[in-house]
Amino acid sequence: MSLRVYFLMLPVWVCICGCAEWETPEIPARSIFPESRIAPDAVGMEVALAQLDSQQKDDFELFWNQLDQQALPIELRKRLDQNGLRAAVMASAPPPILHQLIDPPPILPDNLNSLEKQLYSKGLLRKKQRMITHDRISNREGELYSIPVSDIHSQFSWSIRNGDMETPGAGAAVRGGVNITTFPQGDGTVKLLIEFEIHHGKARPQIAERSFFKENRQAIHRIKDLKFEIVLMSGESIVLAPTADVADLGKLFFGAAQSGFDQPESVPSESQAVSHRLLLVRIVQTQMDDLFNDSRFVEKLTTAFAE
């Protein structure tokens, strides 16, 4: 093609190209559902530990009577009760009296000392908080989450009872803890494994439970006779507390450690006997639902650990 013919044909090519539609890349439609921020096999939990006042005994019993105590087998409830502990399930809509139990108490000016009255008059006196811890966590399938629930008792003697059997124990720097292990189910519910354990003694280098490395920790005694499982739906909670007398293991785990009253054989006053703690573990979110769980898209790596 000669140079002259090329310049004659150039306007024709420009006209033809100008008639073509401008192609833009397609933008995928934005989902109306918010993207999840937790792992596919994780469970979102809300953990709250509250210290109740001695004057709240009657209100606590009213609260406890509104929980589902039948969700646990009767034999388990008997073993817990025998050791000064109790457990129940709270529905997704908690009883209104719960807020009265855990909200900060009002400030009573007549009960304040001179310094507190000065702070109160200036608006600088803060309310006493009943909530010790209040966390929202994400727990993977089969992962253990440990919750320290008691103060550290300088010295404590305990007995673990199971029917006619009784196993005594004692130690220094004793602290009670509760372990929560989560297992999401395909129907959207979550199976929780609940374990009570006692930490005591000086921290020493010991082999970690799930690795070959050493770590400085106290001796740990897990109470196998009180281990249990419970299946909860999203929004439901497991509630753990001592029995009304706050004695035995109930005192170790949920009673405030007071100087001079760390030994079970000591006889505390009535006000000290009913002051105790309350643990609530609520299921907030789970993604393990057969409607949305497809092994073609999500492959999980699981590791089995021997007990």
Whether the per-residue pLDDT at 145 is higher than 60: the answer is yes
Range among 34-48, 59-73, 97-111, 198-212 rated most confident: 59-73
Question: What average pLDDT is seen over the chain?
Answer: 80
**C-alpha–C-alpha distance, residues 83 and 249, integer Å:** 6
The better pLDDT of the pair 290, 118 is held by 118
The answer as to whether 17 is a domain residue is: no
Q: Is residue 2 part of a domain?
A: no
Whether residue 23 lies inside any domain: the answer is no
Asked if residue 304 is part of any domain, the answer here is no
Amino acid identity of residue 230, one-letter, is: I
Tens-digit pLDDT profile for residues 207-233: 766 666 777 889 999 999 999 999 999
* pLDDT of res. 303: 39
More confident residue, 124 or 94: 94
Q: Within a domain: residue 15? A: no
C-alpha distance from residue 223 to each of 10, 55, 88, 132, 158 (Å): 90, 31, 19, 24, 12
133 inside domain = yes
Number of domains in the chain: 1
> What DSSP line would sit under 98-119, residue for residue?
HHHHHSPPPP-GGG--HHHHHH
Handedness of CA 113, 256, 173, 47 (dihedral sign): negative
Domain housing 108: 43-286
Please state the φ and ψ torsions of residue 114, each to the nearest 5 degrees.
Answer: -60, -45
Q: pLDDT tens, 279-298?
A: 999 999 887 654 444 443 33
The predicted structure's pLDDT at residue 285: 86
**Which residues touch 247 (CB under 8 Å, ≥6 apart)?**
84, 264, 273
Q: Does 132 map to a domain? A: yes
What pTM was computed for the model?
0.75
pLDDT at site 271: 39
Flag whether 218 is in a domain: yes
- In this predicted structure, what is the pLDDT of residue 92? 93
